[in-house]
Structure 1
Amino acid sequence: MPPGPLDTHRPRSFRSEPRSMASAEHPGSPGRTGPVTQCTAGTKPEASAAGPDLPHPGPDEDSDADSSPSLNSSMTTRELQEHWRNEKRCWKPVKLLFEIASARIEERKVSKFVMYQVVVIQTGSFDSNKAILDRRYSDFERLQKNLLKSFGEEIEDVPFPKKHLMGNFTQEMISERKLAFKEYLSQLYAIRCVRRSREFIDFLTRAELKEAFGCLRAGQYTKALDILVRAVPLQEKLTGHCPAMVVPALCATLVCHRELERPLEAFAAGERALERLGAREGHRYFAPLLDAMIRLAYALGKDFVSLQERLEESQLRKPTSRGFTLKELTVREYL
């Protein structure tokens, strides 16, 4: 019988998850920590990563050609050309297109508003994971106000449709705003520091992720998964510069599958999360995720020893006190 990651007891099942030795520190809900990166009007480079949820050095979806390492001067022209062709294939930029597919008028007891359906698709290939979001004028307005606080100079030339005292529900006005919001999102996305900001990413993902984590807390695992399946692909497309930002959602996916007794799907979600964490042993999800993956691997007859060694080596390098289990950590997100 293999030892557990932190003791010598045999894991009872993949649904039994011991408390890990992860740090109990929890910086709070993602989306409440300000912009992921800041930039000025083209004069300062973007800040490199420092915290567990911030970008770190390395290739990303916006890498510039002159940022690549210098090549061996002895390479022939043909070899150089082949090298850059391979580089382009490996690091093909992710580009997104925004459409306002439709709009509908909704009436509530005390309010009446227009709901715009935003469709986000990836260019360059068939995108089977296009995102469909519902946002109202007040959501766009909140995004604009938040961006002005951090990127006033960068977005000063990006037009935003103004409010009107009358005529907001006419077909003419709705059609005009559909085009305006499409152009607005496209122009924001074209600004590198804006598309990487917490404000922009939250506008496109936070509402759906908040709902999914709420369902997880309520034990509605199937409903939570239905939302995560739609939200996570878009979050991944938006966070290529900082892959760790998607780790909480992937861990929530693992927890939901595990609670629904789908260990294979849970393990697959955990592998994706570990891949995005990389060597970031200080991340608050690192030890709890490894604990959960060791239990799943053992229950599935997979290689758990390498995962256990990875956790033990991490604890030797940086000992931590007993902290949250993976489920305890995920249910604290978006509170």
Structure 2
Amino acid sequence: MNQDLSKLGWMGDNQNGGGKRKSDGEYTTDGVRKSDDVENELSKSINSTEEIPPPMFDIISAVSVLEDENLERKYVLYTVRVRHGSARADLHTTTIDRRYTDFLTLYETLKKDGSEQLSSYTFPRKAIVGNFSQRLINERSKKFEQLLELISKDSKLRSSIALLNFLQDKELKIALELCGQQRYDIAEPILKNSFRLLNKVYTDRSAAVLLSLCRLVGCYAVTPGTVNGSAERWATLALHRYEGVSDADLLMLYGPLLETCLKLWERNGKDWQLIKERLADMKRRGVCMPTKTLLEAVNDLDINYRSLPSNYFNA
């Protein structure tokens, strides 16, 4: 596959995890223009064969939120910031908002799976009174940070489905509902933030990251009236990430990805001939051509992955 992908504009060096595009303008190892601030944080790619440093989690705020105006129920919303564990700069802040019950579900799921790494950790108990005192909120914030730090430093815990669910499921549910309503322009920034976040936690070619990236590209492709370089660059990044992918299930997305790129290239007036030739070559070799959109294919594969052992998804 590497040789064929290089014909789409890449001169790759898989040992170094990168290359330059054969066209004018300087590109990073992940195929993103260095002058483009939108995707610039991807400029230093971590190859999936390299060991990545643990990501860093910190809670930057905690606020009381009214859940039910009639019953006046409140809860505390904790904003978790996720940062690269390496020295590379985080040009785009990625955060998620989580409640006490979300942290509790994460902890209990990992304990149920027999994670001995959490044996020394004590989860903060529920309080009958004083739930919203600043002292209690601060104490819980520190304990939640400790939990996430323990998880991030252990490769087994970091590759668990429990952590992935914690990091993306709330936002993914909203984005999928928006896509179902064809409100793709609203779903795009949610999916983009989710990809950037997962890209700081897992390797570039892990299933979690590739599914998230392909879902974003698929959303761009079906957004009415989308004609911009950003969509093309995300698609180019997805093509580049597929260099070196050997997972048979992930390769099932390659056909739908090529079809999507073909549509984006045609829409943006770019040369699509090489992509079309690649698709024709796959057809001649008896490769089953996609009958679903990239978004549909990603969602189907996501369901399949979640039925596998917890450490398989992000291996």
Which TM-score applies when normalising by structure 2?
Answer: 0.69
Aligned to 1:138: 101
Aligned to 1:170: 133
Going from structure 1 to structure 2, the CA distance change for 1:192 and 1:330 (only over 3 Å counts) comes to closer
* Cα displacement string for residues 181-218 of structure 1 (whole angstroms, at most 9, x for unaligned residues): 11111111111111122211221222122222221221
Q: 1:188 aligns with which of 144, 147, 151?
A: 151
Going from structure 1 to structure 2, the CA distance change for 1:108 and 1:300 (only over 3 Å counts) comes to closer
Within-5 A mapping of 1:141-220: 141-220=104-183
Aligned to 1:122: 84
Helix, strand or coil at the partner of 1:106: strand
1:270 to partner: Cα distance: 1.5
Aligned to 1:14: none
Is the CA contact (8 Å cut-off) linking 1:209 and 1:249 kept in structure 2? no
2:225 is aligned with 1:266:
no
1:330 to partner: Cα distance: 5.2
Is the CA contact (8 Å cut-off) linking 1:208 and 1:227 kept in structure 2? yes
- Whichever residue aligns with residue 59 of structure 1, its letter is T
Give distance in 2, aligned partners of 1:243 and 1:331: 16
Helix, strand or coil at the partner of 1:98: strand
Is the CA contact (8 Å cut-off) linking 2:83 and 2:90 kept in structure 1? yes
Give distance in 2, aligned partners of 1:155 and 1:132: 24
* Cα displacement string for residues 154-188 of structure 1 (whole angstroms, at most 9, x for unaligned residues): 32223321223333222221111111111111111
Going from structure 1 to structure 2, the CA distance change for 1:315 and 1:158 (only over 3 Å counts) comes to farther
- Whichever residue aligns with residue 213 of structure 2, its letter is L
Aligned to 2:67: 108
Is the CA contact (8 Å cut-off) linking 1:168 and 1:174 kept in structure 2? yes
Going from structure 1 to structure 2, the CA distance change for 1:298 and 1:222 (only over 3 Å counts) comes to closer
Identity %: 28
Is the CA contact (8 Å cut-off) linking 2:217 and 2:231 kept in structure 1? yes
1:327 to partner: Cα distance: 4.3
Is the CA contact (8 Å cut-off) linking 2:255 and 2:289 kept in structure 1? no
Helix, strand or coil at the partner of 2:277: helix
Going from structure 1 to structure 2, the CA distance change for 1:224 and 1:165 (only over 3 Å counts) comes to same
Give distance in 1, aligned partners of 2:198 and 2:189: 15
Aligned to 2:15: none
2:58 is aligned with 1:99:
yes
Aligned to 2:287: 319
Give distance in 2, aligned partners of 1:180 and 1:206: 22
Q: Which has the larger radius of gyration?
A: 1
Is the CA contact (8 Å cut-off) linking 1:114 and 1:137 kept in structure 2? yes
Is the CA contact (8 Å cut-off) linking 2:283 and 2:289 kept in structure 1? no
Going from structure 1 to structure 2, the CA distance change for 1:322 and 1:223 (only over 3 Å counts) comes to closer
Going from structure 1 to structure 2, the CA distance change for 1:227 and 1:306 (only over 3 Å counts) comes to same
Going from structure 1 to structure 2, the CA distance change for 1:196 and 1:121 (only over 3 Å counts) comes to same
Q: CA RMSD in A?
A: 2.7
- Whichever residue aligns with residue 118 of structure 1, its letter is V
Give distance in 1, aligned partners of 2:209 and 2:48: 17
Helix, strand or coil at the partner of 1:265: helix
Is the CA contact (8 Å cut-off) linking 1:210 and 1:334 kept in structure 2? no
Q: 1:309 aligns with which of 257, 277, 285?
A: 277
1:321 to partner: Cα distance: 6.0
Give distance in 1, aligned partners of 2:253 and 2:128: 48
2:240 is aligned with 1:250:
no
1:332 to partner: Cα distance: 6.2
Is the CA contact (8 Å cut-off) linking 1:239 and 1:245 kept in structure 2? yes
Give distance in 2, aligned partners of 1:107 and 1:286: 45
Is the CA contact (8 Å cut-off) linking 2:152 and 2:158 kept in structure 1? yes
Give distance in 2, aligned partners of 1:318 and 1:161: 57
Helix, strand or coil at the partner of 2:56: strand
Give distance in 2, aligned partners of 1:245 and 1:314: 26
Gaps of 5+ in 1: 1-56, 63-92
How many residues are matched?
248
1:299 to partner: Cα distance: 4.1
2:246 is aligned with 1:287:
no
Helix, strand or coil at the partner of 2:164: helix
- Whichever residue aligns with residue 121 of structure 1, its letter is R
Give distance in 1, aligned partners of 2:130 and 2:301: 40
Going from structure 1 to structure 2, the CA distance change for 1:59 and 1:121 (only over 3 Å counts) comes to same
Which TM-score applies when normalising by structure 1?
Answer: 0.65
Give distance in 2, aligned partners of 1:242 and 1:156: 31
